[in-house]
Structure 1
Amino acid sequence: MIESIQQFDVELFLKIHRGLSNSFFDWLMPLMRNRFFWSPLYLFIIVFCIKQYKKQGYYIIGMVLFTFAMGDLIASRVVKPWVSRVRPCNDMSLANDIIHRVPCGSGLSFPSAHATNHFAIAVFLICVFYSRWKPILPIGLFWAFIISFAQVYVGVHYPVDVTTGALLGITIGIICSRIFKKLQPDF
């Protein structure tokens, strides 16, 4: 069973990583996974929350940071060392199939911390703001998805890594939003 899942994962990885290869994605996807590219969005969220919601805005930002920290801690410090899956770009059996679009790094692959963190933040923000602004649902999910997809496209994660990271992130985002709502029932 595990071997058939791994085989499917490798085949799907190659269909995305090599099969969808084109010059536009080669330019776009490394940007999508770069934390500095998204800095204006993060700054906007901070300024918006503080300006729009004053003291509660600080609580929102604090919970976003807590959500990020929980996602990163669980994915990077708990699950990755336990599973110890090698990144596809470091997998010697795929050495001839990898297109090096970004530096691979020496970290582990499962689950994707990028996927975990961004889905956690997106779902937290969706749960907090959905009743006030419905478009946050598709925008937030697309944002987390494109970052996760980019991880596979550039060759640093398998599809199962990002899917599991997304599910873990969604769970963390929901839990953190419930904590926030208990601490801030008036929001």
Structure 2
Amino acid sequence: MIDFLNSIDTQLFLFLNGLHNAFFDPIMYWLSDKWIWVPMYVFMAYLIVKHYKMKGILIILTVGVVIALCDQTASHLIKHAVMRLRPSHEPSLVGLIHLSKAGPGGMYGFVSSHAANAFGLATFLYFVLDGRLRILKYWLFIWAILVSYSRIYNGVHYPGDVIVAAIIGTLIGWGMSKLFLYIENRRLKNK
């Protein structure tokens, strides 16, 4: 069963990675770059604090916890336990992969930290923010999908790496949103 899933994952990876072209290559490279998103993060933090005041600061701090949980789960817990080679390090795929100028990445790729972090952030804010920031809530899921897809396009993750990471990030984001809202409701009741 595992061999069958790996075969499907590899074939889907080769198809999606093979869709590269000169127009999208730089776009997908930048979508994967974490520093390009700093202005978006700053703008998001500004909007959240502007709309929610002190609660906004607590939301931002909890976002940090969500990202840390997603990143540590993906990068340290799962990647080192599973030790599945990235497609960019898989000997049988040499010459078949289009790699971005970012290079092959670390040795192991299951699961994608980028995808886990992006979906954790999007899910947490989806459940915590109200309708005033509705556009931001939906934009974050589009952003998470684009970042995740860029990892396949750039040759450093199989589709299964990003799908499982998206599920993990979503579960962590959802769980942390429930905890945040529970604590926030208790705090308001005690006022």
TM range (shorter): over 0.9
Structure having the higher helix fraction is: 2
Q: Please identify, of 58-67 and 39-48, the stretch whose mean Cα deviation from structure 2 is larger.
A: 39-48
Residues 129 and 22 of structure 1: is their aligned pair in 2 closer, same or farther, counting only changes over 3 Å? same
How many residues of Structure 1 are paired with residues of Structure 2 in the alignment? 185
Counterpart CA distance in 2 for 1:69 and 1:106 is 19
For 2:119 and 2:23, the matched residues in 1 are separated by 25
Q: Distance in 2 between matches of 1:140 and 1:7?
A: 31
Deviation at 1:47?
1.7
The corresponding residue for 2:68 is 69
Kindly state the Cα deviation for residue 42 of structure 1 after the two structures are TM-superposed.
Answer: 0.5
**Matched residues in 1 for 2:59 and 2:87: separation?**
36
Paired with 1:134 and 1:46, the residues of 2 have a C-alpha distance of 15
For residues 108 and 170 of structure 1, the distance between their equivalents in structure 2, rounded to whole angstroms, comes to 22
- Mapped contact 1:129–1:136 kept (Cα < 8 A): no
Percent of aligned positions that are identical? 35
| CA distance in 2 between partners of 1:136 and 1:37 (Å) | 18
Distance (Å, rounded) in 2 between the aligned partners of 1:2 and 1:161: 14
Paired residue for 1:13? Answer: 13
Of 131-140 and 143-152, deviating more is: 131-140
**Partner Cα distance (2:105, 2:173) in 1:** 27
What letter corresponds to residue 33 of structure 1 in structure 2?
A: S
Distance in 1 (CA, whole Å) between partners of 2:7 and 2:168 is 22
Matched letter for residue 104 of structure 2 = C
In structure 2, the gaps of 5 or more residues are none
* TM-score with structure 1 setting the length: 0.94
Q: Which residue of 2 aligns with 1:38?
A: 37
CA contact (8 A) 2:74 2:111 kept: yes
Aligned to 2:124: 124
Amino acid at match of 1:120: G
For residues 93 and 4 of structure 1, the distance between their equivalents in structure 2, rounded to whole angstroms, comes to 16
- Give the partner amino acid of 2:171: T
**Ranges of 4+ aligned residues in structure 1 off by more than 6 Å:** none
For 1:125-144, list aligned pairs within 5 A: 125-144=125-144
CA distance in 2 between counterparts of 1:159 and 1:87 reads: 11
**TM-superposed deviation, 1:52:** 2.4
Equivalent in the alignment of 1:169: 169
